[in-house]
């Protein structure tokens, strides 16, 4: 049986990954989820597995020295590192938390993982480390790093530290760089869940600039299967790009959401552009496809349909977030967040 340490597993993608792996491996896997429960962490995302005999939650900051206790008391086959400050707009307002978690936290985790001989370190990164594209071309694993926001710069910093652990100590790492994820359980500060929930509430839909910026969307379960593939077949030291073949302008995405939500009083509102707004991301994922045999399964049309349906049937989940109620709930259970 394999034992995995997952960081940031109470967030959007991490919680999907934990449910995915427990679903695939059942009792043949054991997962320890280390999460600090920042504003983005939500244990409601893990309701379905909270009583699973092989799932364990540890409320801990990856930047804390006490993290070592966990490595002392368990042998991990792999660390899958999702924990991060993840929102570009927040990084523009206040960058230091991004350095603390994404850079320092990653190094601390690497140090412990190496000291305790973890067999594989899978670092979850983003296509945003490559910077921005013009109208043509796509990012390959050899595209030079040119991050433009404090968020993407902190992720690029982390990527370089992970690379250094391989080059210096031959510590068996992989870096997985993925395009924009969407799906159920995404915190409603990111484009798709913000627009869906605002549309349900009849609120304005704030589109930055002219809405012509382009993102390359991937349904979250496709990313989870890509990470599983890298854990099983990835070559140590290698980087793998992951994408969903779904380039869309923001305005097209918002119009599709309006169509799927149907009856709403919400209107698109063009607002001031994001500072340093990256124009276009597009991922070339031929390497993971050709070398490891992975490809995305869910079309954007199908994934968006599932996502809108989920937000419609899970209004309490996002209403508790938007009203701040979910914070009070966890303070009661775990003390201050």
Q: How far is the CB of 97 from ligand NAD (least distance, A)?
A: 8
Give the interface segment with ligand NAD, choosing from 33-41, 111-119, 250-258, 328-336 (CB under 6 A). Answer: 33-41
Q: Is 291 a catalytic residue?
A: no
Q: How far is the CB of 321 from ligand TYD (least distance, A)?
A: 14
d(CA 307, CA 296): 16
Catalytic residue among 35, 55, 85, 127: 127
Q: Is 127 a catalytic residue?
A: yes
Closer CB to ligand NAD, 5 or 62, in the complex: 62
Cross-strand partners of 60: none
Catalytic residue among 128, 159, 222, 247: 128
d(CA 128, CA 98): 14
- Chain residues 98-157 in contact with ligand NAD, contact rule CB under 6 A: 101, 105, 124, 126, 155
Residue (of 288, 302, 298) closest to 245 by Cα position: 298
Kindly provide the b/e burial profile for residues 187-197, where b requires at least 16 CB atoms within 10 angstroms of the residue's own CB: bbebbbbbbbb
Q: Which DSSP helix (H) or strand (E) runs through 162?
A: helix 150-169
Return the one option of ligand NAD, ligand TYD, none that residue 191 interacts with (CB less than 5 to 8 A, by type). Answer: ligand TYD
Closer CB to ligand NAD, 9 or 172, in the complex: 9
Give the residue at shortest CB distance from ligand NAD: 11
Rule CB under 6 A: is residue 203 a binding residue for ligand TYD? no
Site for ligand NAD (CB under 6 A): which residue of 22, 43, 62, 80?
62
Residue with tokens 């013009």: 134
Kindly provide the b/e burial profile for residues 131-161, where b requires at least 16 CB atoms within 10 angstroms of the residue's own CB: bbbeeeebbebebeeebbbbbbbbbbbbbeb
Other C-beta atoms lying within 10 Å of the C-beta of residue 48: 14
Site for ligand TYD (CB under 6 A): which residue of 79, 207, 224, 256?
207
Residue (of 103, 110, 125, 107) closest to 5 by Cα position: 110
d(CA 213, CA 233): 34
Rule CB under 6 A: is residue 178 a binding residue for ligand NAD? yes
Rule CB under 6 A: is residue 310 a binding residue for ligand TYD? no
- Chain residues 32-91 in contact with ligand TYD, contact rule CB under 6 A: 88
Q: How far is the CB of 281 from ligand TYD (least distance, A)?
A: 7
Question: How many distinct helices (H) and strands (E) make up the chain?
Answer: 13, 13
d(CA 323, CA 318): 8
Rule CB under 6 A: is residue 190 a binding residue for ligand TYD? yes
Other C-beta atoms lying within 10 Å of the C-beta of residue 171: 20
Q: How far is the CB of 73 from ligand NAD (least distance, A)?
A: 18
Query: With CB under 6 A, what is the number of residues at the site for ligand NAD?
Result: 30
Q: Is 128 a catalytic residue?
A: yes
Give the interface segment with ligand NAD, choosing from 82-90, 112-120, 291-299, 327-335 (CB under 6 A). Answer: 82-90
Which stretches of the chain bind ligand NAD, using CB under 6 A? Answer: 7-8, 10-14, 35-38, 40-41, 61-63, 82-86, 101, 105, 124, 126, 155, 178, 180-181, 187
Which residues participate in catalysis according to the annotation?
Answer: 127-128, 151
């Amino acid at each position: 049986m394999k034992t995995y340490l997952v960081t940031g597993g109470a967030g959007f993608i991490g919680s999907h990954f934990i449910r995915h792996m427990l679903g695939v491996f059942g009792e043949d896997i054991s997962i320890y989820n280390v999460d600090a429960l920042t504003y983005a962490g939500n244990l409601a995302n893990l309701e379905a597995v909270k009583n699973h005999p092989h799932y364990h939650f540890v409320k801990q900051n990856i930047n804390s020295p006490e993290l070592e206790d966990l490595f002392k008391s368990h042998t991990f086959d792999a660390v899958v590192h999702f924990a991060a400050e993840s929102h570009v707009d927040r990084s523009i307002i206040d960058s230091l938390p991004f350095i603390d978690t994404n850079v320092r936290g990653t190094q601390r985790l690497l140090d412990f993982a190496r000291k305790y001989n973890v067999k594989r370190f899978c670092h979850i990164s983003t296509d945003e480390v490559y910077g921005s594209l013009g109208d043509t071309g796509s990012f390959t694993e050899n595209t030079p790093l040119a991050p433009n926001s404090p968020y993407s710069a902190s992720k690029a910093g982390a990527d370089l530290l992970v690379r250094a652990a391989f080059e210096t100590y031959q510590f068996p790492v992989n870096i997985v760089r993925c395009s924009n994820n969407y799906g159920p359980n995404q915190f409603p500060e990111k484009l798709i869940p913000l627009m869906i929930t605002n549309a349900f509430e009849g609120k304005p839909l704030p589109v930055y600039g002219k809405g012509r910026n382009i993102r390359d969307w991937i349904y979250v379960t496709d990313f989870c299967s890509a990470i599983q593939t890298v854990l099983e077949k990835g070559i140590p030291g290698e980087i793998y790009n992951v994408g969903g073949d779904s380039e869309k302008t923001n305005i097209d995405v918002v119009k599709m959401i309006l169509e799927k939500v149907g009856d709403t009083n919400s209107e698109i509102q063009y607002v001031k552009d994001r500072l340093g707004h990256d124009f276009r991301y597009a991922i070339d994922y031929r390497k993971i496809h050709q070398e490891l045999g992975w490809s995305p399964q869910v079309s954007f049309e199908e994934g968006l349909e599932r996502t809108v349906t989920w937000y419609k049937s899970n209004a309490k989940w996002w209403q508790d977030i938007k009203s701040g109620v979910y914070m009070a709930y966890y303070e009661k259970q775990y003390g201050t967040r």
